[in-house]
Amino acid sequence: MKQEDHDLVLQACGASSLHVGAKIQSLWSGYGELLRLRLRGCERPSVVVKHVKFPSEAEHPGGWNTERSHRRKVRSYQVETHWYQNYATNSRCRIPACLAACSHGDEMLIVLEDLDVAGFDQRRRTNIKDKEIRACLSWLAHFHALFLGVAPDGLWPVGTYWHLETRPDELEAVDDLQLKAVAGDIDRILSGCRFKTIVHGDAKLANFCFKRSGTDVAAVDFQYVGGGCGMKDVVYLLEDCLEGRECEDRVPGLLDFYFSELKLDVKKDVDFAALEKEWREMFAFAWTDFHRFLLGWMPGHWKINQYSKQLTKEVLHKLKL
């Protein structure tokens, strides 16, 4: 660590000394790393540092190493820093507290509460259980309710990393000419929702940290947080947790659960019946929107399945009508 980063952490935490512990993981495309720092002389035994360093040559599993891609990533870390410094949630949609942040040159540093210390030390990437999916859906529902009608100031105007306006190269690569032709219409329908909230924007399973019970969860990674329809987060989570053959049987019940949780926290002056009706109508459009991205980004991806193809077919039919 640079001396100024070292001093920033000590000052923010009131610690007398620190040492770098385990590397948690590298950031996407080689843009830095997540580190755990061990502290002495303060109440916190450790913090997690997101250290961003823009590479001279980025790596990408799909080969999308373009200047546009680089600019999008740089902006995403600026957005995430702004999010942590200016927005707060509550215990029903827990996130790590931001203790400090700084940037200099091609580097950025975000010092975060260590969720492991708070008991959220479980990462569920395989063998996901129903209670864990429901815990994540509950988190999303309370998050969407909390920010319903809130303008995404300083965030992405339209959240999610696959938002059409930021992905023209991937759209150009789509072979499905019918879907390609109406991609703009689908985007406008989603963006034209009457009921808007702030979406997490990357609500995959890997970005949720669980307590041992599997029913308490916190979320991390807010690079693509921004405005939009809550169904975008819900669709992305379900696609990440369920295989194609499971979707037809399990999605309806999980969607019902999400709306039951959303209703608990939505303010009384909101017409919840109208909100639920609109967002249920947006469900297939949100799924098709992500399907469009995958077809251009990685057409052999496992998330491209019969269920997503059927929803896309239904959306295309609706647009014709």
Looking at the chain, which runs of residues are DSSP E strands? 17-26, 32-40, 46-53, 98-104, 107-113, 197-199, 208-210, 217-219, 226-228
pLDDT of residue 67: 84
**Cα separation values, 68 from 165, 225, 317, Å:** 11, 19, 33
pLDDT of residue 230: 98
Mean pLDDT of all residues belonging to the chain: 93
pLDDT at residue 125 is higher than 70: no
Per cent of the chain over pLDDT 70 is 96
- Answer yes or no: are the C-beta atoms of 233 and 201 closer than 8 Å: yes
Residues 48-73 have a mean pLDDT of 76
Cα torsion 204, 86, 159, 57: sign: negative
The CATH classification number of 3-113 equals: 3.30.200.20
pLDDT band at 69 (very low <50, low <70, confident <90, very high): confident
Domain boundaries, the chain: 3-113, 130-320
Structure tokens at 108: 């950025």
- End-to-end alpha-carbon separation of the chain, Å? 59
pLDDT at residue 2 is higher than 70: yes
pLDDT at residue 62 is higher than 90: no
Higher pLDDT residue, 140 or 1? 140
For the stretch 171-209, pLDDT in tens is 999 999 999 999 999 999 999 999 999 999 999 999 999
pLDDT at residue 146 is higher than 80: yes
pLDDT at residue 126 is higher than 70: no
The CATH classification number of 130-320 equals: 3.90.1200.10
pTM of the model: 0.94
